[in-house]
Amino acid sequence: MSKFLSSLQEKALLGDGALGTMLTQAGLPPGESPELWMLAHPEKLKIIHQAYLKAGAQVIQTNTFGANRLKLQEYQASSQVQAINLTAARLVREVVGRKAFISGIVGPTGHFPAPLGEYTWGQLVEVFREQMEALQKGGADFIFLETFSDLGEVRAALYAAKNFTTLPVACSLTFTQGRTLTGTSPETAAVVLEAMGADLIGANCSTGPQELLPIIEAYSKATNLPLLVEPNAGMPELIDGKTVYRETPAMMASFIEDFLQLGVKFMGACCGSTPEHILAMKEKLNSLPTAKPKNACTKKSFPTRLASRTKVITMGTNELPRLIGERINPTARKSIAQAFRENKWDLILQEAFEQIEKGADLLDLNVGLPGSNEGDLLPEGIRQLQMALDIPLVLDCTDPIALEKGLQEYQGKALINSVNGEEKSLTTILPLAKKYGAAVLGLTLDEKGIPAKAADRFKIAEKIVKRGLEIGLVKEDILMDCLVLTAATDSTLCLETIKTIYLVKKHLGVSCILGLSNVSHGLPQRSWLNNAFLALALGAGLDAAIANPHDSRISETLAAGALLSGRDPGARNYLQVAGKTPPASTKSTDHTNPLSTLHTYILQGQKEPIISLLEELLTTTDTDPLTIIKQGVIPPLEKIGDLFAAGEIFLPQLLLTSEAAKIAFSYLQKQLPAATFANKGTIVLGTVKGDIHDIGKNIVKALLENHGYKIIDLGKNVPTSSFIQTAKKEKAQIIGLSALMTTTMVEMEKVIQEVKKEKLTVKVLVGGAVVTADYARQIGADGYGKDAGETIKVVEKLLASD
Amino acid sequence: MNFFKVPLTLTFQEVLPFLKMNKEPSPQEKKLIEHYLMEIKQKAQPIGVWKTFPVKYWSPEKISLEGSPLLLEGKNTAQHFQTCEQITLLATTLGAEIDCLLAHLSPRNPAHALIADGVASTAIESFTEQLDCYLSTQIRRKGYFPTARFSPGYGDWALNWQKEFLISLDSKKIGIATTPYFLLQPCKSVTAALGWSNIPLERSYTAPSSTKKPAKKPCCSAHTCHYCQLASSCPDRFKY
Ligand code: B12
């Protein structure tokens, strides 16, 4: 182990503070590259390093934050990468000798890996490699990746550090509101970076210590790695025209204890900080009793964890069993094959979304298509899917070359599907998992095929686990598929699979996954077999099934199986899944008052059961339509209006409710003589000339219609003359005008002028985001509606005053 | 000219304030929100563009920029950028496909349309915030203090400047245009300016999520407006 890492294990180390502030004070002109300036003023840098060392820093950083080829390009200096990094590291060494460690600083390139940016993953790796090799040559004790805002980019940097230097690597991301710029949480970062081999992880920049506490806490719950933190110095004050950080050193120091408690082993300071901050932190550190490192006794254990760029999914004996969507697979589905062939990624995405909506926790991605190159399709598929999806991918591929390309692109922690007991597979696939921080799924087969007996399958599983551990994978990252063959050929074999699962879980303790659908191949009613077999497998300890999420029984079996196998304490998941199905309509028939069932349907906006309930009311209870309207439809409509006015429910629910009421109303109306309901009033509605926003207007329209008004909708961008002509032709009582912006709101006045000029009796009602009651009065409108709810009342008033 | 492309990161919780939902939505509403969150993340093509201009001259009424026809005009506006040496202009959009989705829903299904529209508005707002954070970090690293972002159409900066704004950014490249009435197309688009102040500003540090409170002068501070409790009653809302 490197000296730096072993020191960390003994006690927390103190880093230094910002270079930016110090460089400006030392005379760095605005707009100039700090790295190039260093080459011309090495002595100034040495003074800064010296100041931090004197303040008590035990780790001093190189001035190389922007010293990569892409950043230096902005100053036409990309040829100087070597020189700058070598010089920077040597300058620090000249100052600190052996008194402090040197952190070789590597910052982001300003470009995210494709498809977000224009550089490929491989190109970025080369950029980082160039800088890191020079830093190592210059004498850096470890590589410090800092202020990264994209998991994909930091992963490329980490890969370069691990593969092209022999130094330990610290990874630090920057977070705002709990996630990185591209959406990664500390937990996800921890899972992915730890699997990739980071030695130290944490956060810096963006915020002060107070805001970084919850970030570090989230890290600490998700990893056993030592943590690092470098907060910003906080808000300076302006005193006599100078920016002064008066209170912030003490404030910064006051957080040290909290950070140490969370497992922070390396602490420095970022933007705005000075040697004063470091001094205050040093004093605080020295004043603390030297507590024993808690690490040894508090090692946390974790289940199997897989991750997308943004989300972690757990798997294991104490976790809920997971559903892996199987449908992106061209072998089984022609439409998918076609989509792959024609590069129709939107179809593939659609397929992915549908599976997620049906409850998939992970997605299997299989691009194996005769005549196509997996080595191109797999990375492309990953690029397309990982940006849009939240959930982790299972890379269903056994070609090591294609897999490697795919794993480079994948920014989370993937599951490789699969390795098997064959020597060729073990030696090519397992190292990929280690190198790219993935988990791997083993199949219990080898050169001789799939053994019939559980004991023999177990032996293969044992071998795969052993070999995985040997190359440095942890047990949680090795999973096993005990393989099922179709019951159509030999149904006696199915139970061998179940027995193998049991043995593997019991003796090897690794997570088990099953490609479920095989069991029913070639048989009718596949869902029956799939679900029965899933239930059996869950009983033996299965942790996840690769299956079809569109078979709704699968989620049901998973939820029920989870409860029955003791994985769902308090039945919380079961109740949630069970509650998702719409409430049984038993209430309607045996309820003493069917009208109140109608109330419930309307209030909840349940459209589907309304008609059958009304039929029932009309035929079996012989209630007359008018009574149903008066006692069954109007009261909930009024109630929901009141609830809305009181802020108890929101506009969308109001709309859903009134749509349901409208269905009931139209159905009942047909049962009555045509003249029973007079038209409550005719309203011409539109968005004024020049305005193309109609969501507000359409909401108003929907509510008015549901309240029985006749609406003539002229759409958007409507010229004044259309409003006038239509109002005349339709003998409308009201013209309703909508506008979203001040530039179009002025068109309302023109309509009103025209109404006056033509001496029409029609009233003009206005509304929209920028319209106010004052403005409405000012332009001579007859009414103003703040929102859709209020509009109903205003219209009633306007018509009543007629 | 710099382009900015990152995936949308918005969450269920962030959408609620935009839908004016200050407490738990109904189960049906929840389902719709979740559905449109996914659909919009799938269909949106979020992209931003930005460019930094040195300030040419400053007066209490207006600011002009080196190499841009745009004026930052209006008393509040000029004051907002009073201490800035440079101004970064930015424009963001979700792209035309979202307009198609909304245009399809709007006349057919108002409840769905309302929710989809709110999710899309939140998406572009949150995307703009991502770009803002990204740029603010860079501004801070260079030793300046970023102002809050500020847009034409807010405070006293007239919407009529949208045209010059878009020209300065050559935003045709990301498909944003303006109508004769100065509405942006696609609908879910935003233009905003971010100042590089050389003295510390209260707003230049990102407020942590849990303690986000309305800014002191709510409706003139651009992006805080949508979340501000006073937004609907604030007199500044209509000053233009
Ligand atoms: C969401 C939103 C956005 C979103 C989406 C906008 C869009 N085009 O879809 C985004 C973030 C993209 C955005 C961008 C901009 N926005 Co904006 N935005 C809003 C916000 C917060 C809500 C608007 C909304 O969609 N509400 C939801 C719908 C359902 O409500 P509604 O349309 O108001 O309709 C309701 C009522 O008004 C009423 N109603 C509507 N019509 C009618 C008709 C009648 C007859 C009646 C009785 C009632 C009625 O009932 C409806 C239902 O309740 C408003 C502020 C606000 N609180 O209203 C600012 C607001 C509209 N935006 C504003 C500005 C300045 C902008 C930008 C110009 C900023 C910029 N420079 O980038 C851009 C322009 C975008 C463009 N396409 O041109 C200003 C406009 C000021 C002005 N000078 O005109 C506002 C008012 C904010 C403010 N406080 O200043 N914005």
Range of lowest pLDDT (A142-151, A194-203, A284-293, A617-626): A284-293
A420 strand-pairing partners: A443
- Could you tell me the distance, in angstroms and rounded to a whole number, from the CA of residue B91 to the centre of ligand 1? 18
Instruction: Judge if the beta carbon of residue A197 lies within 6 A of ligand 1.
Output: no
Q: Which chain B residue's Cα is nearest to A696?
A: B114
- Of the two residues A29 and B110, the one the predictor is more confident about is B110
CB pairs under 8 A between A and B: 168
pLDDT at position A49, please?
97
Range of lowest pLDDT (A286-295, A344-353, A728-737, A752-761): A286-295
Q: Is A647 left (phi over 0), alpha (psi -120 to 50) or beta?
A: left
Range of lowest pLDDT (A234-248, A303-317, B197-211): B197-211
Q: Which chain A residue's Cα is nearest to B156?
A: A742
Range of lowest pLDDT (A113-122, A254-263, B198-207, B223-232): B223-232
Using a CB-CB distance cutoff of 8 angstroms, which residues of chain B are in contact with residue A119? none
List, in sequence order, every beta strand (DSSP E) within A680-732: 682-687, 710-713
Using a CB-CB distance cutoff of 8 angstroms, which residues of chain B are in contact with residue A656? 28-29, 111
A331 and A274 share one domain: no
pLDDT tens digits for range B129-161: 999 988 988 888 777 888 999 999 998 999 999
A349 and A321 share one domain: yes
A674 backbone dihedrals φ, ψ, rounded to 5°: -55, -35
pLDDT at position A176, please?
85
Rounded (5°) CA angle B88-B178-A117: 50
- Could you tell me the distance, in angstroms and rounded to a whole number, from the CA of residue B221 to the centre of ligand 1? 16
A225 and A251 share one domain: yes
The per-residue DSSP string of A257-276 comes to: HHHHHTTEEEE---TT--HH
pLDDT at A209 over 80: yes
Pairing of strands A393-396, A264-267: unpaired
Query: Alpha helices of A719-765 — where are they, by DSSP H?
Result: 720-730, 742-745, 747-757
- Of the two residues A465 and A605, the one the predictor is more confident about is A465
The tokens describing A351, both together, are 């397929």
Interface of B with A in 60-89 (CB under 8 A): none
Q: Are A190 and A198 in contact (CB under 8 A)?
A: no
Place of tokens 């950083």: A61
Q: Rounded CA gap, A517 and A549, in Å?
A: 11
Using a CB-CB distance cutoff of 8 angstroms, which residues of chain B are in contact with residue A20? 141-143
**Best of B6, B8, B37, B128 to mutate (most A CBs within 10 Å, chain A):** B6
Other C-beta atoms lying within 10 Å of the C-beta of residue A329: 19
CA distances from A742 to A375, A692, A784 (A): 55, 13, 16
Which among A645-659, B7-21, B87-101 has the top mean pLDDT?
B87-101
Mean residue pLDDT of chain A comes to 92
Rounded (5°) CA angle A43-A45-A47: 75
A434 and A348 share one domain: yes
pLDDT at A589 over 50: no
Nearest neighbour of A653 by CB, restricted to B26, B38, B237: B26
Which stretch of DSSP H or E encloses residue A43?
A: helix A42-55
Whether B214 has its CB under 8 Å from any CB of chain A: the answer is no
Other C-beta atoms lying within 10 Å of the C-beta of residue A452: 13
Average pLDDT value for residue range A644-648: 84
Peptide bond into B186 cis (omega under 30): yes
pLDDT at position A583, please?
43
pLDDT at position B214, please?
37
pLDDT at B184 over 80: yes
A666 and A683 share one domain: no
Query: Which amino acid, B225?
Result: C
Half-sphere exposure of B55 (CA within 13 A, CB side): 20
Q: Are B181 and A691 in contact (CB under 8 A)?
A: yes
Name every residue whose Cβ is closer than 8 Å to that of residue A785 and which is 6 or more positions away in sequence. A700, A765, A766, A767, A791, A794, A795
Using a CB-CB distance cutoff of 8 angstroms, which residues of chain A are in contact with residue B209? 177-178
CA distances from A587 to A189, A609, B57, B184 (A): 49, 12, 73, 51
Per the domain annotation, does A589 fall within a domain? no
Residue A496 structural domain: 304-577
Q: Are B219 and B154 in contact (CB under 8 A)?
A: yes
Whether B156 has its CB under 8 Å from any CB of chain A: the answer is no
Q: Domain B2-228 classified CATH 1.10.8.100?
A: no
Q: Rounded CA gap, A145 and A418, in Å?
A: 32
Per the domain annotation, does A586 fall within a domain? no
Q: Is B74 left (phi over 0), alpha (psi -120 to 50) or beta?
A: left
Q: Rounded CA gap, A14 and A284, in Å?
A: 11
Per the domain annotation, does A533 fall within a domain? yes
- Tell me whether residues A388 and B180 touch, CB distance under 8 A: no
Q: Rounded CA gap, A499 and A444, in Å?
A: 13
Peptide bond into A115 cis (omega under 30): yes
> How close, in Å, is residue A211 to chain B by CA atoms?
6
Closest CA to ligand 1's atom 51: A696
How much of chain B is in helix, strand and coil states, percent to nearest 5? 45, 20, 35
Pairing of strands B71-73, B62-65: antiparallel
CATH code for position A720: 3.40.50.280
pLDDT at A11 over 70: yes
Instruction: Judge if the beta carbon of residue B153 lies within 6 A of ligand 1.
Output: yes
A339 and A285 share one domain: no
The tokens describing B141, both together, are 């690293």
Average pLDDT value for residue range A570-588: 66
pLDDT at position A116, please?
86
Share of chain A above pLDDT 90, in %: 73
Domain boundary, last residue among A269, A294, A319: A294
- Could you tell me the distance, in angstroms and rounded to a whole number, from the CA of residue A637 to the centre of ligand 1? 28
The tokens describing B32, both together, are 């719709």
Q: What is the DSSP letter of B197?
A: E
pLDDT at position A621, please?
76
Average pLDDT value for residue range B201-220: 41
Give the 3-state secondary structure of residue A118.
coil
Rounded (5°) CA angle A361-A362-A364: 145
Nearest neighbour of B183 by CB, restricted to A605, A655, A691: A691
pLDDT at position A676, please?
67
Whether B108 has its CB under 8 Å from any CB of chain A: the answer is no
Instruction: Judge if the beta carbon of residue A770 lies within 6 A of ligand 1.
Output: yes
pLDDT at A106 over 90: yes
pLDDT at position B236, please?
45
Q: What is the DSSP letter of A477?
A: G
Closest CA to ligand 1's atom 44: A767
A565 and A620 share one domain: no
Q: Rounded CA gap, A607 and A590, in Å?
A: 20
pLDDT at A148 over 90: yes
A670 and A691 share one domain: no
Whether B141 has its CB under 8 Å from any CB of chain A: the answer is yes
CA-closest candidate to residue A437, choices A312, A300, A307, A301: A307
Q: Rounded CA gap, B55 and B53, in Å?
A: 6
Using a CB-CB distance cutoff of 8 angstroms, which residues of chain B are in contact with residue A181? 6, 130, 133-134
A353 and A257 share one domain: no
Q: Rounded CA gap, B43 and A459, in Å?
A: 48
Specify burial of residue A16 (Cβ count, 10 A radius: 0-12, 13-18, 19+): buried
pLDDT at position A107, please?
96
pLDDT band at B230 (very low <50, low <70, confident <90, very high): very low
A171 strand-pairing partners: A145, A201
Nearest neighbour of A650 by CB, restricted to B29, B110, B182: B29
Ligand 1 atom nearest to CA at B183: 78
Per the domain annotation, does A588 fall within a domain? no
Name every residue whose Cβ is closer than 8 Å to that of residue B109 and which is 6 or more positions away in sequence. none
Other C-beta atoms lying within 10 Å of the C-beta of residue A383: 20
pLDDT band at A169 (very low <50, low <70, confident <90, very high): very high
Average pLDDT value for residue range A649-658: 88
Q: Rounded CA gap, A133 and A207, in Å?
A: 31
Q: Rounded CA gap, A172 and A189, in Å?
A: 10
Q: Rounded CA gap, A647 and A650, in Å?
A: 7
pLDDT at position B209, please?
31
Average pLDDT value for residue range A778-785: 96
pLDDT tens digits for range B61-77: 999 999 999 999 999 99
- Could you tell me the distance, in angstroms and rounded to a whole number, from the CA of residue B38 to the centre of ligand 1? 23
CA distances from B22 to A322, B120, B233 (A): 33, 18, 17
Other C-beta atoms lying within 10 Å of the C-beta of residue A112: 24
CA-closest candidate to residue A68, choices A16, A28, A140, A125: A125
- Tell me whether residues B179 and A356 touch, CB distance under 8 A: no
A101 backbone dihedrals φ, ψ, rounded to 5°: -85, 155
Ligand 1 atom nearest to CA at A737: 45
Rounded (5°) CA angle A194-A196-A198: 55
Domain boundary, last residue among A632, A656, A675: A675
pLDDT at position A591, please?
53
Domain boundary, last residue among A234, A266, A294: A294
Q: Are A443 and A483 in contact (CB under 8 A)?
A: yes
Nearest neighbour of B114 by CB, restricted to A232, A604, A651: A651
What are the extents of the domains in chain B? 2-228
Using a CB-CB distance cutoff of 8 angstroms, which residues of chain A are in contact with residue B117? 695
Average pLDDT value for residue range A708-720: 94
pLDDT at position A297, please?
54
pLDDT at position A238, please?
72
A637 and A684 share one domain: no
A315 and A377 share one domain: yes
pLDDT band at A292 (very low <50, low <70, confident <90, very high): low
The tokens describing A134, both together, are 């020079």
Instruction: Judge if the beta carbon of residue B111 lies within 6 A of ligand 1.
Output: no
Per the domain annotation, does A44 fall within a domain? yes
Q: Rounded CA gap, A797 and A201, in Å?
A: 65
Give the 3-state secondary structure of residue A311.
coil
pLDDT at position A580, please?
52
A562 and A615 share one domain: no
Q: Which of B183, B226, B227, B229 to mutate to test the pocket of ligand 1 (most atoms within 8 A of CB)?
A: B226
Say how many domains are in chain A.
Answer: 4
Using a CB-CB distance cutoff of 8 angstroms, which residues of chain B are in contact with residue A115? 5
Q: Which of B157, B163, B174, B190 to mutate to test the pocket of ligand 1 (most atoms within 8 A of CB)?
A: B190
pLDDT at position B238, please?
35
Name every residue whose Cβ is closer than 8 Å to that of residue B74 and which is 6 or more positions away in sequence. B61, B62, B155, B156, B157, B158
pLDDT tens digits for range A42-51: 999 999 999 9
